[in-house]
A and B are shown apart, each in its own frame.
Chain A
Amino acid sequence: MNKNIILYGAILIFGIAAPFIFPAFKVQLSILCILIILAITWNVQGGEMGYNTFGNILFYGLGMYLCASVQVGMFFPLGEWTEGGGEKTFVHTPAQFFQGFAVGLAVAAVVPAIIAGLIGYSILGLRGHYFAICTLGLGVAAGEISGGIEIIGAGQGFTTPPFPNVDRLEARGEFFYFCSFIVLVFTFLAVKAIYSTRFKLVLNAIRDNEDKAEAMGIQTMKYKIIGWMISAFFCGLAGGIMGGLVGYIDSTDVAFDGREMGVFMVLMAILGGKGTLWGPVIGATLFHIFKEGFWTFFLGWQYVALGVLIVVIVIYFPEGIMGWLREKYPERFGEVVDEADRKAQVTLK
C-alpha cells in the first residue's frame, strides 16, 4: 500500500512538472493524456464488459462538437461563426472564453452520457461481432451525417474559438495540458474507484458469460447501459478538450475519425492489456511514443505501419503487456501459484 502511494505521488508530481520539464512537448503531452483517457474508457467497455466497440468515437466527436458549439453559441450566433470559416468576426474575451469552455465541457460530458443511455437499450442488446459492427456503423454514420449539417460547418469544418490573448505565450499549451491532465487524473481515479466495487464484478460476469449472469439474477442490461454511459461521459470530456487543443473540427478527419482515434483506442487498450487498470495507461503511452516517432520520421507510411501494427498485435500479442506480465509473474498479480501444478500443465501440452 505504501509503495502504491509513492508510485501515485511520483506520477502526479511528474504530471504536474512535465510541461515545465519538456516545454516543447506540451501539445504531445496533452494528446497523450487524451489518448490515455480514451484507452481507459474503451477498456471499461471492451476489456471489462467484453463489449468490443468501435463506436466510442461517436461520443468523442459529439463531445468535441458540443463543447465548441456551446463555447461559441453562448455569446455569438453559431451559424454566422461557422459561415465565417477561419475569418473571425467575433472575438472571445478571456472571461467569455474560459466560461464558455467550462460550460462546454460540462455539456460535452453529460450529453454523450445521456445519448449513450438512450441508445444503450437498443444497441447493447446486440452481442459479440454484431455489436462491434453496429457501433462501427454508428461512428461512421455520425461522421457522414455531421459532415452534412450546415450549422456546425458541414464539409468545410468548424474553427474553435482561438485562445484569448493573455500576456504569456506559453499559456495556451499549459492551459490545455492541465485541462487534459486533470481530466485524466479524474478519469483514472473514478475508474479505479469503480473497479473496486461490485460493479466491476458484474461487468466481468457479463464478459465471461452473460446468460449465466442473467440467470444469477443480475439485471445485465442495466449494468451494461451504466457501463456505456461511464465510457461516454469521459469520452465526451476528452473530445471537448481535444477540440479546443486542435483548434479546428472536421467531421470525418478530426471528430468522428474512426480510422485514427476509433482504432487507436481499441489498439492501445489491447496493446496494454484488456481488462486491467494499468494496461490501457501503459499501452497508450507506448503507442503514443511509437506513433509520434513514426508520424515524424516516416510521414506518409504511418497508416501502413498502423495496419501492420494492428495485425501483429492482434495476432501475436492479444493479451497485451499486462497479460504477458501476468503470465510471467503471476505472484505479482495476487495469484497463488502451485509450482507443481504449473509444471504438470506445461508437460501435458
Chain B
Amino acid sequence: MDFLIFQVPMLTLQAVLDGLLLGVLFALIAYGMALQWGVMNIINIAQGDLVILGGYIAYFMYLYGIHPAWGVIISPIIMYFVGVIIYKLVINKVVDRDLFISILATFGISILFMQLMNFAFGADVVLANSGYGTTMLFDNSVTLPNSKIFSAFISIVFAIGLVIYMKKSKLGRAIRATAQNARAAKILGVDTEKVYAATFGINAALCGVAGALISITFTIHPYMGLPYTIRSFMIVIVAGLGNLPGVAMSGMGLGVFEEFADYILGTEFRIGSVFLLLVLILVYRRFKLSRKREYLK
C-alpha cells in the first residue's frame, strides 16, 4: 500500500481528529432528523438545505461585520420560524400520509430552496471567517483549526441542552408523548398540531445551528444540501430512532470514515463514498434481517 496516510502515522491521527470534530456536527443534524422522524414519521429530504440556509444566515452576519459565531444564536431563532412556516404550508398535509409522499414533497421543498438560495446568495462557495486561528499539536504535525473545536463544543452544548429540554420541559414531554402515541396524546389534551409544528421548528433550529457552524468551519454552497440529508439519514438508520448515544457515536464514525475516504480514495470520491456507504449499510442490514425473515421497517 503506497498511500500517503499509511506512511505518515501523524496523518492518521489528523484524519481521526478531523473526522471526530466533523462527526459531532453530523450527529447534531442527525439528531434533528431522528426527532422529526420519530415524532412525525416524516423523512425530510430538505434537511440539508435547511442546514445550508442556516449557514447563509451566519455568513450574512459575517458580511455585515458581526462576528459569525453570533450566528449560532441568531440562526436557530430565524430557522425555527422558517421551520414552522414550512410545517404550516406543506408538512402538516403529509404527516399522516404514506412516507413516500413526504419524501417526494420534501424533495420538492429541497429543489425550491436550492434554487431560491442560488438566486439570493449566488452560486459561489463561501465561508464565514471566524478568525480563530489554529492549534498545532505534536510538534506542528497535526493542525486543528480552533473553529472546528469551537463548533464541536457548541454542538455538544446544544445537543445536551436539547436532551435536558426534552426531558424536563412541558413541551418536551408533549413531544415525547406524541412520539409514543399521537392519538392517545390527543385524547389526553395534547395539541398535537402544535407539537408537530414545534418539532419541525426545533429540527430546523438545530439545522440552523449546524449550518452556522458549518459556515464557520467549512464552506457552504446552495447545492450542497443533499449530502447532509443523506448523512443524517444514514446516521439515524445505523443508530436507530431515539438512541441518542448511538446517534453521537455513528455520527463521529461517519466523520472519521469520510476523512479516511478523502485521504485514500481522493477528494473527488468523497461524496460518492458517503452515498455508497449508505447503500452498503442498507444492504447489510437487509441481509442481516432477512435471516430472521424480517425487513427494515
Chain A contact residues, CB within 8 Å of chain B: 52, 122-123, 125-130, 132-134, 136-138, 140-141, 143-145, 147-148, 154-155, 259, 263, 266, 270, 300-301, 303-304, 306-311, 314-315, 318
Contacts and interface: CB of A to CB of B under 8 A. Distances in A.
A270 B108 CA distance: 14
B94 A126 contact: no
B279 A137 contact: yes
B109 A133 contact: no
A303 B111 contact: yes
Interface stretch (B57-65, B126-134, B213-221, B283-291): B283-291
Given A303-B112, A303-B114, 11 more contacts: A123-B279, A137-B230, A140-B226, A141-B272, A141-B279, A145-B269, A155-B268, A309-B108, A311-B105, A314-B104, A314-B108
Given A126-B296, A144-B275, A308 B94 contact: no
B3 interface: no
B75 interface: no
Scoring A266, A308, A311 by chain B CB atoms within 10 A of each residue's CB, the highest score goes to A311
Contacts of B4: none
B107 interface: yes
B245 interface: no
Interface of B: 43, 90, 93-94, 97, 99-101, 103-105, 107-116, 118-119, 226, 230, 233, 237, 266, 268-269, 271-273, 275-276, 278-279, 282-283, 286-287, 290, 295-297
B169 to A, nearest CB: 30
Contact of B107 (A144, A147, A263): A263
B119 A133 contact: no
Contacts of B279: 123, 134, 137-138, 141
Nearest to A140: B275
Contacts of A145: 269, 272, 276
Contact of A147 (B113, B268, B283): B268
Given A126-B295, A263-B107, A134 B269 contact: no
12 contacts: A123-B279, A133-B278, A136-B230, A143-B272, A144-B268, A145-B272, A145-B276, A155-B268, A259-B111, A311-B108, A311-B109, A318-B101
Contacts of A155: 268
Contacts of B93: 315
Q: Is the contact region of chain B dominated by helix, strand, or loop, or is it mixed?
A: helix
Contact of B115 (A154, A270, A303): A303
A315 B266 contact: no
Contacts of A154: 268
Contacts of B105: 310-311, 314-315
Given A130-B296, A137-B230, A144-B269, A315 B111 contact: no
Contacts of B287: 122, 125
Given A122-B287, A266-B104, A310-B105, A304 B296 contact: no
Contacts of A125: 283, 286-287, 290, 295
Contact of B275 (A137, A263, A303): A137
Nearest to A133: B233
Nearest to A124: B286
Contact of A133 (B103, B266, B286): B103
Nearest to A309: B108
Contacts of B290: 125
Q: Is the contact region of chain A dominated by helix, strand, or loop, or is it mixed?
A: helix
B295 A127 contact: yes
A311 B106 CA distance: 8
A270 B233 CA distance: 25
A263 B99 CA distance: 17
Given A141-B279, A148-B269, A128 B94 contact: no
A115 to B, nearest CB: 13
Contacts of B271: 140, 144
A206 B290 CA distance: 17
- Going nearest first, the 9 A-B pairs with the smallest beta carbon separation are A307-B112, A310-B108, A144-B272, A141-B275, A303-B115, A307-B111, A148-B268, A311-B108, A129-B99
Nearest to B106: A311
B103 A304 contact: no
A10 to B, nearest CB: 34
A127 B290 CA distance: 12
Contacts of A318: 97, 101
Contacts of B278: 133-134, 137, 141
B268 A122 contact: no
B149 to A, nearest CB: 29
A130 B285 CA distance: 11
Contacts of B115: 301, 303-304, 307
A307 B109 contact: yes
Contacts of B112: 303-304, 306-308, 311
B230 to A, nearest CB: 6
Given A140-B275, A141-B279, A311-B90, A126 B286 contact: yes
Nearest to A302: B115
Contacts of A140: 226, 230, 271-272, 275
Contacts of A143: 272
A336 to B, nearest CB: 28
A304 B119 CA distance: 10
A130 B282 CA distance: 8
Contacts of B116: 304
Contact of A310 (B107, B269, B297): B107
Contacts of B109: 307, 311
